[in-house]
Structure 1
């Protein structure tokens, strides 16, 4: 695949496909290619907007810190050029924000087993507007009596490890209008499945976001927050033999087995126009993205 390589990432161990040294060299080369293009700068401003520090206020365990450092930024897609994009770093995730639609293009994060522990409570956090993006922007009142839930992309349940991460998961740049049946049903079940997989395998690399079809025009609220037609989620596991899977959910009713939503990552890329996991060596990327095997994930 001809892809724009734009993401900063540290090397990881891939013994099934090639030696550690070979993977390190190949991923280091892609790291060098990406530095000039990525536009994501730690603890500074990107796209003219202040970003939250990845480490400020966080209480990571040493195990989580080691895991996230080893595979740093592996989850982040390639830079988008066909739609509005502003990159925002948060404590527990990264957002590609679309100022025209007032929702994210995608939200990406690394979910480790360690991050599923902690005392931060969802009940202590409140939805709030993100002042790091320009107005007009989504606010809580846009959702009132809209018929749609405030649907998390990076879920609150993945951010119990840090009070700041939990609070930031309620920023409206991490939220989309989501049908209640989906948000509280099959989407929630997939979030729980990802937590189960992270506990089993140690770490997952997850990207999710909205899908808008060609004639999509529906909005809610005075700030005209766009209502997605569907949602995607792609999941990568690098433990043992690397594997990946994608999912597509219509933004409406649903009460179906997880396997009914399953797709290859390549198919999700075709539908969304997003290049996922671009810093993987091409042979590995091509292999894991071309296959869709629900049995590998016990679904």
Structure 2
């Protein structure tokens, strides 16, 4: 606190002691006398027992049976199509599904179904910021909190299904599992990537129905690893958006570094750029501009 703000607070205290200011007026004056600081999120964790309690018995099984609704047409991603070398797992949460790799110790793809009603509910949810290793994954194949700490250069634990998309307390808590995180450049995560997430939400709020979003990392030759468990750090990240009402799709592919948001690409360009054919079973009639 500066001398000026301290003096303002003391002056306010003197006023209330003299009876010149009523209680509510005192609170208002203190609010304006003290410096305004940007909200800071505290980072914590929860116990393994608490983490396990976040998931239903069905969600603890390594299948997509509990989250088919997160995929277009209710048809889950075929986990068998992922190379066995990546040791893939299917993981369900209340509002997103994860194709996880025990080799990279990261998600490979996170799918979520969004709509305007869900995002209205999400606006009222308080961000928990309690990160935790996913207890459903064997320890030999999962990331730990220590993998993301004291990294030089610094890395963020970057959500693939954003916290701001979560419409309930439990869904919010589930979104902080490390199975939903990749090591992301802080400038990217808090800059261009944050803008893309916001643009997608703006589009969903205007859309006529469900919008399906696929998000994940890309590991190009020469990628780095972080932490004691050598968690793979992506060289690029992607976000593919499919509007089920119009059959339109568009995507963003960003380098994992400080970048600007460019015009989104169409689905064909996305496939050519990433090699991922996530919508081949669907009719894609066109693209759309930025949300």
The reply to whether residue 149 of structure 1 matches residue 149 of structure 2 is no
1:74–1:196 Cα change, 3 Å: farther
Give ranges in structure 2 of 5+ residues lacking alignment.
1-56
Deviation at residue 138 of structure 1 after TM alignment:
1.0
Deviation at residue 273 of structure 1 after TM alignment:
3.2
Q: Which residue of structure 1 lines up, in the alignment, with residue 102 of structure 2?
A: 99
1:120–1:169 Cα change, 3 Å: same
- Structure 1 segments of 4+ aligned residues over 4 angstroms from their partners: 41-44, 51-55, 68-72, 74-79
Residues 165-207 of structure 1: per-residue CA shift (max 9 Å, x gap): 1111000000000001100001000000111011000331100
Deviation at residue 298 of structure 1 after TM alignment:
4.5
- The CA distance in 2 between the partners of 1:187 and 1:130, in whole Å, is 24
Deviation at residue 70 of structure 1 after TM alignment:
11
- The CA distance in 1 between the partners of 2:274 and 2:91, in whole Å, is 20
Q: 1:76 touches 1:108 (CA, 8 Å); kept in 2?
A: no
Q: Which residue of structure 1 lines up, in the alignment, with residue 34 of structure 2?
A: none
Q: 1:141 touches 1:221 (CA, 8 Å); kept in 2?
A: yes
Question: Which residue of 205, 208, 214 maps to 2:215?
Answer: 208
Residues 249-299 of structure 1: per-residue CA shift (max 9 Å, x gap): 000011x2441xx2222332334333212432xxx24x44xxxx5xx3256
Q: Which residue of structure 1 lines up, in the alignment, with residue 25 of structure 2?
A: none
| Paired residue total | 227
- The CA distance in 2 between the partners of 1:126 and 1:258, in whole Å, is 32
If the length of structure 2 is used for normalisation, what is the TM-score? 0.70
- The CA distance in 2 between the partners of 1:44 and 1:191, in whole Å, is 28
- The CA distance in 2 between the partners of 1:264 and 1:84, in whole Å, is 30
Q: 2:104 touches 2:231 (CA, 8 Å); kept in 1?
A: yes
What secondary structure does 1:45 align onto? Answer: coil
Deviation at residue 139 of structure 1 after TM alignment:
1.5
What secondary structure does 2:237 align onto? Answer: strand
Deviation at residue 237 of structure 1 after TM alignment:
0.6
The reply to whether residue 81 of structure 1 matches residue 75 of structure 2 is no
Q: Which residue of structure 2 lines up, in the alignment, with residue 34 of structure 1?
A: none
Q: Which residue of structure 1 lines up, in the alignment, with residue 61 of structure 2?
A: 45
Question: Which residue of 124, 127, 133 maps to 2:131?
Answer: 127
Question: Higher relative contact order at CA 8 Å, sep ≥6: structure 1 or structure 2?
Answer: 1
Deviation at residue 144 of structure 1 after TM alignment:
1.1
- The CA distance in 1 between the partners of 2:220 and 2:93, in whole Å, is 28
- The CA distance in 2 between the partners of 1:271 and 1:70, in whole Å, is 22
- The CA distance in 1 between the partners of 2:239 and 2:134, in whole Å, is 23
Q: 1:156 touches 1:166 (CA, 8 Å); kept in 2?
A: yes
Give ranges in structure 1 of 5+ residues lacking alignment.
1-40, 56-67
Q: Which residue of structure 2 lines up, in the alignment, with residue 10 of structure 1?
A: none
1:175–1:75 Cα change, 3 Å: same
The reply to whether residue 111 of structure 1 matches residue 109 of structure 2 is no
Deviation at residue 69 of structure 1 after TM alignment:
9.0
Q: Which residue of structure 2 lines up, in the alignment, with residue 265 of structure 1?
A: 267
Q: 2:250 touches 2:266 (CA, 8 Å); kept in 1?
A: yes
- The CA distance in 2 between the partners of 1:81 and 1:196, in whole Å, is 32
Deviation at residue 223 of structure 1 after TM alignment:
1.2
